[in-house]
Chains A and B, each alone.
Chain A
Amino acid sequence: MAITKTRKIAAIILACAAALSAVVASTLVGPGLSPGETAGAVVGRLFDGEVGLPWGIVLFRVLRVAAAVVVGVALASVGCSLQALLRNPLADPYILGISSGAGFGAALATVFGLGTSVLGLSAVNVMAFAGGLIAISLAFVVARGTGILSVHALLLSGVMVGAFFTSLVILVMSLAPARDQHSVFLWLMGDLGSPDISFFKVGGTAILVAAGLIFFFLTSRALDVMTLGDEAAYHLGLSVERMKVAHLVAASLVTAAVVALAGPIGFVGLVVPHAMRRVVGPGHGALLAASAAGGAFLLVAGDTLVRVTSGYFNLPVVPVGVFTAFIGAPYFLAIMRRKAL
């Protein structure tokens, strides 16, 4: 059954609507303020200029929801790009070692107590960003060798570089005091609950993610062509090598930025593109739009659930990365079993 254009548009609109309702719901609930109090705080601020504690909570929550949107959009769209580029259904934003490199940077910053912040960015943010980029650059340089960039070589070197940096993370952790071990361990799960989240951090990441997303959209036809294989793409008139490098650079910058912000939240970048491909088909224009909305929905909904369970039921706070893995892995297995991957 061919997927009609109408169906694609309807699916994208539906995904956007779902993401938007999740954003509204997420902004209204949380352990600090009930939905009524939240609305009251907003009304109070707008009409009476009240800026007390409740308004502070609203600001913090808006920022957290915005971070969830940014990270969700980024991971899902990078996942689309890399699954096409690497022609591999297992590809996700972390497959080429970015998360491990970022983890190493974050672990070093934590253990050496580099707490000083510049422009509201902590050492963990900066070192995670740098570590992620160093790891993927290494994978890229090795894969490229002297010849052209082969997708298989890139996957192999990426996975190996990732394994190497993972071993470095474990080395740093094994030498660290218990408290730092705990911090690094939780960072590695991916979480949006940092008290040090700031408008500068979220805004800066959002700009980078938006730029990446626009680039992915503009080159979505090229992604379609690249899924046919390097040779076919070349004969169809695409400068394959340049397109690959450009996509890798964009995907790396976007991924490193969101990992620096929230840690390596798993499965969003893997599962959302697969889920959306089943609805809107393999064309990358529609797939990117649907995935971006789907990623935002999944992460915002997940983070809301995490906040609500801890706040209202007094359960221990769970990192949102645990939730996405809990949902993502079984879903992946389910669609695999139905041979729909």
Chain B
Amino acid sequence: MMKTVKTFALICAVFIFGCAGSPPERAAVETVTVTDDLGRVVDVPEHPGRIVSTSPEATEMLFAVGAGGNVVGVTTWCNYPPEARELPKVGDFSNVDMEKVAALEPDLVIATGHEQGRVVENLERLGFPVVVFLAPDVNGVRENIGAVGEITGHEEGAAETLADFDGRLAVVDAAVAEIADNDRVSVFIEISTEPLMTVSGGSFVADMIKRAGGVNIGEGLPRAYSRIDPEEVVRRNPDVIVLASGATPDDVSARVGWSGITAVRVGRVYAGFDEDLLFRAGPRAAEGVELLYEMFYGDYENP
């Protein structure tokens, strides 16, 4: 009951003070200054006790460095690690319920970019410090893991996570360095069938493909996540097709004109893997690079 009253008071305060343009007073605490992936400079309380994560990537990073115990709210998309699923939900990817966030009284909110611009704005107006993590590439993930460790006071956990991350990448990097430019496989990754979409340079996944030694046939397309004409895919004749669209290898070989594509002819059309490994800029991204390497040069087989 007391908590409800406090929450109500907080929301009132937000309306009264927030609308007047001055954030509500907070108890003086030690702060760390963080520059996030949107270039925002944010004063974050040191070692925040209560953290709400509206980003599956951030949730994974928090648990990986050992700050999982401080996470008090997540989104419906935060499915890893399994413990995260049990936590209170504040919304989904693009719809975050401000009242639910406020009710959890977080000291810090970690959000992602993409479609959460409004969410970030509203949370700031409510007076909550918000950090946005949106790594543009694999190296960006490393930095973010370090930052999460620093903010939460789990520097050691972050160092361990990074050691594992770097170890996995180093093995792949060394293997890829052995492959001559001419022997690199060309790759088409399908992220949606209707409409047919793929990734181009500038997307996180494209960087993972590069790290795994693949040449992305969508590299020069106009948007990070771009539509592509089906006949363009046939013309570029990829050696490997990675399906993250729900389509199956059988669907692809049934497509008119696609049966001549090298990947289809030699049966290197992959599906049914854990797509989160490829699309999350979190600690498992290194596993994603390993997975892609296995598909490109290893003996990966569809489950």
Contacts and interface: CB of A to CB of B under 8 A. Distances in A.
A195 B235 contact: no
A60 B228 contact: no
Given A195-B193, A195-B255, A32 B222 contact: no
B223 to A, nearest CB: 6
A200 to B, nearest CB: 10
Contacts of B233: 195
Interface string B180-201: 0000000000011111100000
Interface stretch (B37-45, B169-177, B257-265, B289-297): B257-265
A115 B229 CA distance: 21
A341 interface: no
A63 B115 contact: no
Nearest to A62: B256
Contacts of A48: none
A187 B194 contact: yes
Interface residues of A, number: 44
Interface string B60-102: 0000000000000000010000000000000011100000000
Contact of A56 (B192, B232, B254, B259): B259
A317 B228 contact: yes
B256 A56 contact: yes
A196 B260 contact: no
A117 B251 contact: yes
A307 to B, nearest CB: 6
A30 B246 contact: no
Interface string B212-231: 00000000111100111111
B13 interface: no
A146 interface: no
A42 to B, nearest CB: 14
A97 B72 CA distance: 46
B227 A61 contact: no
Nearest to A63: B256
Contacts of A177: 77, 92-93
Contacts of A49: none
Contact of A196 (B93, B223, B251): B251
B112 to A, nearest CB: 12
A314 B220 contact: yes
A198 B229 contact: no
B229 A193 contact: yes
A194 interface: yes
A316 B222 contact: yes
B234 A115 contact: no
Contacts of A56: 234, 256-261
A182 to B, nearest CB: 7
Contacts of A329: none
A57 interface: yes
A195 B222 contact: no
A31 interface: yes
A186 interface: yes
A214 interface: no
B247 interface: yes
Given A194-B194, A195-B258, A57 B231 contact: yes
B229 A30 contact: yes
Contacts of B54: none
Contacts of A307: 229, 231
B254 A60 contact: no
Nearest to A186: B195
Nearest to B237: A53
Interface string A172-187: 0000011100110011
B261 A53 contact: yes
A195 B230 contact: yes
A142 B220 CA distance: 53
Interface in A84-135: 110, 113, 115, 117, 120, 124
Contacts of A117: 251
A180 to B, nearest CB: 9
Given A56-B256, A196-B255, A316-B223, A61 B194 contact: no
A236 to B, nearest CB: 48
B192 A183 contact: yes
A310 interface: yes
Interface in A50-85: 51-53, 55-61, 63
A316 B261 contact: no
A33 interface: yes
A183 B190 CA distance: 13
18 contacts: A32-B231, A53-B234, A53-B237, A124-B194, A177-B92, A193-B195, A193-B230, A194-B194, A194-B195, A195-B193, A195-B233, A196-B194, A196-B251, A196-B254, A197-B256, A310-B229, A314-B221, A315-B222
Query: Which 9 residue pairs spanning A and B have beta carbons closest together?
Result: A32-B231, A56-B257, A60-B257, A317-B227, A195-B230, A32-B235, A53-B260, A56-B260, A31-B232
Given A115-B247, A177-B93, 18 more contacts: A30-B229, A31-B231, A32-B231, A32-B234, A53-B235, A56-B259, A58-B257, A60-B255, A60-B257, A183-B195, A193-B195, A193-B230, A194-B194, A198-B254, A311-B232, A316-B223, A316-B226, A317-B229
Interface of B: 77, 92-94, 115, 191-196, 220-223, 226-235, 237, 246-248, 251, 254-261
Interface of A: 30-33, 51-53, 55-61, 63, 110, 113, 115, 117, 120, 124, 177-179, 182-183, 186-187, 191, 193-199, 307, 310-311, 314-317, 319
